[in-house]
Amino acid sequence: MSKPGRNDPCYCGSGQKYKRCCLEKDQLAERAGLEAALPEPDLDYHLSVAEIHSLIDEDMVWHNALYPMLAHHLTDGMEPYFEEQHIIEAVSLWNEFSNVQKPLFRKFGAYCAALEYLVCEAHGIIITQAELAKKYQVSVATISKRFQELNEFAENHYGDMLDEYENGDHEDLDHEVFQLPPLSQKSRDALPLKSIKLADELLQRAELQPNRRQRLDLIQHLLELNPYCADAYLLLAGATSDPEQAYLYLRHGLQAAELDLGEGFIAENRGDFWLIDETRPFIRIKFAYAELCWELENQTEAIHHLEDLLSLSPNDSVGARYLLLAVYLDRKRLDDAERLLETYEDDIDASFAYDRVILEFLRHGKSARLKMLYRNARKANRHVPDYLLGLMPLPETMPDLYSPGDSYEAALYVNSHFQLWIKLPRLLEWMAGQ
């Protein structure tokens, strides 16, 4: 049996995504025998740069034509500044990482910068992510994100390539529960401006900190200074793979964000929220909380917050309308779904196109109009059925950006609507026959 992707249905038949079901159990079993299963690579660390290029083309196995191209780009980028041993380490890690994780990307720069930074960290070579961002023409935040992916992969597969702790004691951060600070309007009103500014500085450092342990320490410190910093709770939720734990962080953070703005401010500015800079953290954490409620099948809570987001900001810069339509359809609130589509009737996003197919099927079954709507949906994005019908696996990591009609848009749609479509086997069967 082939191993399912993180976002695929779990093989045990639970109906949940693999990452929310048997993934952790399988990873523990896999890591238990990792040393015996994976032999040490037989590499010559005294190769010239030209020989490294030959190694990439002739001796390494790649599962995507873009992956060796990135390896060549990385080699050329590191050549003037690094010993051949360091270049080989970076290329070898990329070979292992890309073949296992199968990452999606549009430009080589982000992963090249992250690989170079990882090698520097491992060997005590001093370089900043800002310097690498300038060298490879990417953002520091993107390098930080890619570094975290590579770092976690290296720890899981090699163990000793990077050691986050001086004593080598790797604690399980996924099960480390933060003591959340108490919240009240009185304490928020009494918060010194100096504490808020210091916490903002720590937040910027935490967002750019690739070391997970250090990032969590910064978050803890900034919450001691300002317990009402919504973005800190977003970072906390993103640092755990436990959805129940993330739920607690986001719920507490949303309460903090509401107290930070105040009831009067929220009521006075309803309808124009996104135009006001200080509302952005509130909108971000409210949407993240609604997304997690949907994933945990707390649809009533998800609907409440998504409807409120559209009331606060009808222009909907975060895409709350797309998730709200999915939840309406899941709860069979078809009239509400129809009204939402009418409100945003000029929206041509593929998400609405495929959800119109679901709405028609739930109302009228396999109608003639269903065929027309499905043709329109395929014109909007032809890749969605391939993911829904299992013809293409979903990527392990969801892309940050997409263009209308591309496979990235399709992957994002199917990932967010997975639990809706899995409840419609007759519609999927009909699609497979079209």
Distance CA 209, CA 117 (A): 12
Distance CA 158, CA 160 (A): 6
- Which residue, among 213, 117, 217, has the nearest Cα to 166 in the 3D structure? 213
- What is the pLDDT at residue 241? 77
Q: With contact defined as beta carbons under 8 Å apart, do 295 and 419 qualify?
A: yes
Half-sphere exposure of 265 (CA within 13 A, CB side): 11
Given the structure tokens 């992969």, which residue do they identify? 153
Q: At what angle do helices 84-101 and 66-78 cross, to 10 degrees?
A: 160
- Which residue, among 98, 105, 49, 58, has the nearest Cα to 77 in the 3D structure? 49
Q: Over 70: is that where the pLDDT of 41 sits?
A: no
Q: pLDDT tens-digit profile of 157-173?
A: 655 444 443 333 334 44
Confidence grade of residue 282 (pLDDT, cut at 50, 70, 90): very high
State the average pLDDT for the chain.
84
Distance CA 112, CA 139 (A): 12
Single pTM value for the model: 0.63
- What is the pLDDT at residue 35? 35
Q: pLDDT tens-digit profile of 187-245?
A: 999 999 999 999 998 888 888 877 777 888 889 899 999 999 999 999 998 888 788 88
Q: With contact defined as beta carbons under 8 Å apart, do 394 and 8 qualify?
A: yes
